[in-house]
Amino acid sequence: MERLGRVGLVARFKPVHVGHAVMIESIVARADSVRLGIGSSNKYDVQNPFTAAETAEMIALVPGGASCDLVEVPDLGNGPRWREMVKGMFGPLDLFVTANDYVRSLLEDDYPIAHPSSIVPRELHVAVDGSMVRRAMARGDDWQGMVTPKVARYLLDHGLLDRFRREFGLATLALEAEA
């Protein structure tokens, strides 16, 4: 298996779900070092219902997460400024991992880019995203099957599920109805 060298990636991880977990574990297993950015770290809203500190604690609960160098990456609302900020925060990289086409377009002249699906072994691919988890949490569906058991326990033990439903549950369901 080819080593990846120094790898960077930015995602919101709100919350950290099983797809994130296998991605982090797969990258950490092959990289010499991983700089993991918590995207939209300055946002607390319906799409970002967990703080950067809470997100960092969830990341630390997944295999390999504790060995990543975490950095908070704020949303600047300006792609070119964000690109310059990310380059300064991440420095030289052998690979930048993203599934976001816009992020790819911003950074493709600065870093080699890979889609997470090219790094995660095919048999470990999981069809889940943060919006799906947040909708299931808001509806009271089986959201726990979309996150690792440790992340589910963290959300429950810290009252984050209740806070999410109280503060963002209805707005999450309204976004679902608009889609």
Sign of CA dihedral 8, 14, 16, 18: negative
Q: What does the pLDDT read at residue 170?
A: 93
pTM, whole model, 2 decimals? Answer: 0.94
Quick one: pLDDT at residue 179? 64
Pick the CATH number of 5-124 from 3.40.50.1100, 3.10.20.90, 3.30.830.10, 3.40.50.620: 3.40.50.620
Half-sphere exposure of 74 toward its Cβ, with a 13 Å CA cutoff? 6
3-12: average pLDDT: 95
pLDDT at 177 over 80: no
Mean pLDDT value of segment 125-136: 93
Taking the C-alpha atoms of residue 88 and residue 86, their distance in angstroms, rounded to an integer, is 5
pLDDT tens digit sequence for 52-111: 999 999 999 998 999 999 999 999 999 999 999 999 999 999 999 999 999 999 999 999
Domain residue ranges in the chain: 5-124, 130-178
* Reported confidence tier of residue 176, pLDDT bands at 50, 70, 90: confident
The mean pLDDT of the chain is 95
CA distance 138 to 63: 27
pLDDT at 125 over 80: yes
